[in-house]
Structure 1
């Protein structure tokens, strides 16, 4: 049976580092408050004109170069993002052009912070069709362009970045199982909503709202439901918690990840994190953390659980075996 094998990975972040003290100059906050509540010390912010497609392209190039695969060999490109360059063309189409991947089609997938998990699950189905030798899944976000810098409850969390994986066909795929859930609630987390017209007039033009969230509700939703989701999912897969070598969760908040680890009675050493230096990079966080893991150790014989959550409220997990 044909499956999906992760051939390589890569990630890219903008060069500009914004510290908590930098943020405190424009937002009513302090380094002490941010670290104590979130664990975040710095984040990367696109201050030199790089948009989401630019970050995605650079992460994809790294993955392709590491695998020794040329862009024209890629069959499809899935970009997960909720901060696209625009509604049309898709960010994936721009990445396809930037890479020179003339034989690939592409589309964007939007499930916000759960994006990489949903994107990887979607790509797996295309790979299993047997029609594609290589496919790219890229998670990329320029969260900074969607922030309201008077809203300290949201602004202090977010950073920009991109992560990518290159998939290839294999009789022994890495994806063991998956489980996805959606519970729609636009009040918990929302960004970029476009209001419909209320009248015909010359001053009507498209307007979008900045990112906003109910932080306490998000924290409670995650810490109450995600540990149960992980336990139930692994039980279905016939895998014990202790058999998972690494957990790669959405990099929302270090304190949130610590709470999930505590609830699961798992050591934090098993949880891959980059939120301390990159901040909450939405869908890109898991993709970047996976690349950091994949690039630092030999994963052969290891089991890795990817769990994404967010977007008021979408969540899911993928179990990988190497």
Structure 2
């Protein structure tokens, strides 16, 4: 049976670097506090008018160029984001226009910070139908536009960026197995909520709320559920954590990743991270980290586990192998 393989990857971040000291000028925090609690030293922030579709377009261009294909050959585009340009049209539709990918249909997928894993798993199914030569999955976020910069429990974590992959059919599939979960919970993490009308009035217009999270609850949820999920998933595939060469987890917080590694009894050398310099780029973090891994090492014969987790509570893993 034909499956899918990752033909090429790419990523893009805004030019502006915001350090912890920069943040301390606008919110009650410090470099010492942020590094101690999150491991984050800086993040990229879109301060030059680049929206989510712009970051997504640049990452996609890089992946398409590296794949050595014509943009007209792309059959579909999936953009995973929970910071879209707007509710309609989809951010993916804007990216399709920007790329000139006239033969591709496009849509957005929203599973918050788990988006890249869910997007790849979804694209894999379309490739397996045999109807498409190439598919494009892009994870892009401009988290900064959703922040309340008086709320240090959220603001200090987040950065902006985008990562992309080109998928192609293969008789030797690279996407080997997957497992996804959703536990409905709208309280622990939420962003951009729109309330229904309470009355008809001339001044009614959509109003959304800023990103908010219960930080301690998020930490506890992730550090307990995710290690158990990884072990259970790998056991079903006849593997253990020792069989995995590289782990690419959602880049939420370096201390959180360190905790997961410790629980799994694995060295941090096996965990790919960029959260220290890019911050928590939501769904884009895994995509960018995988691009960094893919372009720096020959992954032939290696097993890579992508694990995403985010608002929902939504989480899942995708096993890659070449």
Unaligned runs of 5+ in 1: none
The Cα shift of 1:109 comes to 0.2
Q: Give distance in 2, aligned partners of 1:142 and 1:8.
A: 23
Q: Give distance in 2, aligned partners of 1:240 and 1:183.
A: 25
The Cα shift of 1:312 comes to 3.2
Contact map agreement 2:18 2:45 (CA 8 A) in 1: yes
Q: What is residue 193 of structure 1 aligned with on the other side?
A: 193
Taking only aligned residues, the RMSD between alpha carbons, in angstroms, comes to 0.4
The TM-score normalised by the length of structure 1 is 1.00
Q: Deviations over 1:3-46 (max 9, x none)?
A: 01100000000000000000000000000000000000000000
The Cα shift of 1:103 comes to 0.1
Q: What is residue 279 of structure 1 aligned with on the other side?
A: 279
| Of 255-264 and 234-243, the range deviating more from structure 2 | 234-243
The Cα shift of 1:241 comes to 1.0
Q: What is residue 221 of structure 1 aligned with on the other side?
A: 221
Q: How does 1:23-34 map to 2 (within 5 A)?
A: 23-34=23-34
The Cα shift of 1:275 comes to 0.2
Q: Deviations over 1:84-139 (max 9, x none)?
A: 00000000000000000000001000000000000000000000000000000000
The reply on whether 1:87 has 2:69 as its aligned counterpart is no
Q: What is residue 161 of structure 1 aligned with on the other side?
A: 161
3-state DSSP of counterpart to 1:259: helix
3-state DSSP of counterpart to 1:136: strand
3-state DSSP of counterpart to 2:194: coil
Q: How does 1:61-140 map to 2 (within 5 A)?
A: 61-140=61-140
The Cα shift of 1:291 comes to 0.1
Q: Give distance in 2, aligned partners of 1:67 and 1:125.
A: 20
Q: Deviations over 1:205-234 (max 9, x none)?
A: 100000000000000000011000000000
3-state DSSP of counterpart to 2:57: helix
The Cα shift of 1:238 comes to 0.9
The Cα shift of 1:70 comes to 1.2
Q: What is residue 60 of structure 2 aligned with on the other side?
A: 60
Q: What is residue 240 of structure 1 aligned with on the other side?
A: 240
Q: Give distance in 2, aligned partners of 1:103 and 1:311.
A: 33
Consecutive aligned runs of 4 or more in structure 1 exceeding 4 Å deviation? none
Unaligned runs of 5+ in 2: none
Q: What is residue 144 of structure 2 aligned with on the other side?
A: 144
The TM-score normalised by the length of structure 2 is 1.00
3-state DSSP of counterpart to 2:248: strand
The Cα shift of 1:177 comes to 0.4
Q: Give distance in 2, aligned partners of 1:173 and 1:57.
A: 26
3-state DSSP of counterpart to 1:261: helix
Q: What is residue 171 of structure 2 aligned with on the other side?
A: 171
Q: What is residue 260 of structure 1 aligned with on the other side?
A: 260
3-state DSSP of counterpart to 2:184: coil
The reply on whether 1:35 has 2:39 as its aligned counterpart is no
3-state DSSP of counterpart to 2:84: coil
Q: Give distance in 2, aligned partners of 1:149 and 1:197.
A: 27
Q: Give distance in 2, aligned partners of 1:252 and 1:174.
A: 26
Q: What is residue 312 of structure 1 aligned with on the other side?
A: 312
Q: Give distance in 1, aligned partners of 2:32 and 2:218.
A: 22
Q: Give distance in 1, aligned partners of 2:248 and 2:46.
A: 24
Aligned length: 322
Q: Give distance in 1, aligned partners of 2:265 and 2:241.
A: 9
